[in-house]
Every structure is written in C-alpha cells, then in structure tokens.
Amino acid sequence: MSRTNFSFTQKLADTVSNLKDIKNGAAIILGTGVGGGIIINGQLLAGSHFQAGELSYMIMDSTQTKSTEDSPMGPGFTGGTLSAVGLIKKINELTKHEDLLDGLVAFKELEAGTNQQVTALFEEYCHHVACLIMNIQSVVDLEKFVIGGGISAQPLVIKGINQAYDDLYHTNEAVTLTLCRPQITVAKFNNDANLYGALYQLLLTTAPEKFN
C-alpha cells in the first residue's frame, strides 16, 4: 500500500470511524443497504478488485436471493435484510404512520415499548446485524466494530446489537470457547462518516503534501 493510502487509512480510522489505535477493526454502515470498511494490520482492505467491504452482498438466506419488486437485490442478501430504510418503513407501516420514511417517529415507537410487533421487528433486525458481525469475526478476528449510518445515532441501536450479539455468543458453547468477543460501538460521525471519508480522500488527492 502506498504512503498516501496508508496515511488515509490511519487518519480515516482516527477521525471518522472511531477506530483509533485499532490494528484490526471494521466499520459497518447501515443505510439503504450495508456498506463497510475493514482494517487489517493497520491497513484498509481493498481486495483484488477494490470491492472489499461490500457487505450488502453477503447472503443471509440462500432461499431468498432472487430480485423482487420490493427488493431488487433480493431479500436474502444482507443489503435487503439489514436495510435501515427498510426497517423504518416496516415500523411505520405497523403503526400506520403516513410518512413511512420518518425515522424519528419510528424510534419514538421503539422507545415507548408498547407495541410488541415493533419491538419484535427491531430485535430481529439487531439479531441479523449481530449475525453479520459474527460472520465477519469468524473470518478476520477483529478487535472492534463501529456502526455508522443514520440509525446509529439512536442509542437503542448499539444497545440492541450488543444484546443480540451477547445472546448469540453466550448461548453456544463452541462459539464462546472459540471466538473472542469484539467491542461493538458507534461510529464517530454516524451518518456523516462516509462524507468525511470522501472529503479526506479528495484532499489527499488534490493536496497530498499537506495531508500525508
């Protein structure tokens, strides 16, 4: 990896992803789909085709991989299962709220805790995120995962994902004995993390002498 790319990796980790001083870690961005970035031995993993971190294309249900009208990617892919936009829509549909994209209303319903269907839907979502984290952890053995995207600003999300991961981790003896439990926390700039990363990459390209 070039000096510029290494500098970008380190500074991006420090300022954007809340991965400062983490040698092996990952960012998971929950939005319309699922994006990510993985740092191994202090370097951003790019892959042979610069496609590492395309977490939306991991398969969670092999029976649901065909495109549908509601999910062009296919509901069985991570991007379909873990769409934060999809979660908010489902909550607002259940509560008959007119604006299906109103995330604040959706999370007010969750915080109230009075609708069992909404609670169950959210717990299922957190379970799937925890499954994604464990799948990644079993392959690359990371110290820390940070969660970004608009919904990561809601404390319920990080709390729910940690609880779901603990449920997975402690209810299977083989998992508990084999895998180390990584830290799971929020990305520093939530939904704006990708914007800061894009800006920093532009600055490195246009004026590398100032930012290396």
Spell out the SS3 assignment of 151-198: HHHCHHHHHHHHHHHHHHHHCCHHHHHHCCCCEEEECCCHHHHHHHHH
Residue 78 placed within a domain:
yes
Q: 58-114 pLDDT, tens per residue? A: 998 888 888 877 777 778 899 989 999 999 999 999 999 999 999 999 999 999 999
* pLDDT of 1 above 50: no
Q: Tokens 């939904």 identify what position? A: 191
Question: Looking at the domain assignment, is residue 73 inside a domain?
Answer: yes
What residues does 37 pair with on adjacent strands?
Answer: 27
Q: Is residue 7 part of a domain?
A: yes
For residue 56, the surrounding DSSP H or E stretch is none
Q: Which domain holds residue 171?
A: 3-187+198-206
**Token digits of residue 111:** 């915080």
Tell me if 64 is assigned to some domain. Answer: yes
CA-wise closest residue to 192 among 22, 45, 18 = 18
Residue 134: partners with Cβ closer than 8 Å, 6 or more residues away: 165, 168, 169, 175, 179
Q: How much of the chain exceeds pLDDT 90, in percent?
A: 52
Residue 193 lies in a domain: no
Residue-wise pLDDT for 35-61, tens only, equals 888 889 888 787 888 888 889 899 988
The reported pLDDT for the residue numbered 210 is: 58
Q: Residue 15 domain-assigned?
A: yes
- Whether 35 is covered by a domain: the verdict is yes
pLDDT of residue 22: 86
Q: What total of structural domains would you count in the chain? A: 1
| Helices 103-112, 155-170: inter-axial angle, 10-degree rounding | 60
CB 28 within 8 A of CB 146: yes
| 192 domain-assigned | no
CATH number at residue 46: 3.30.420.40
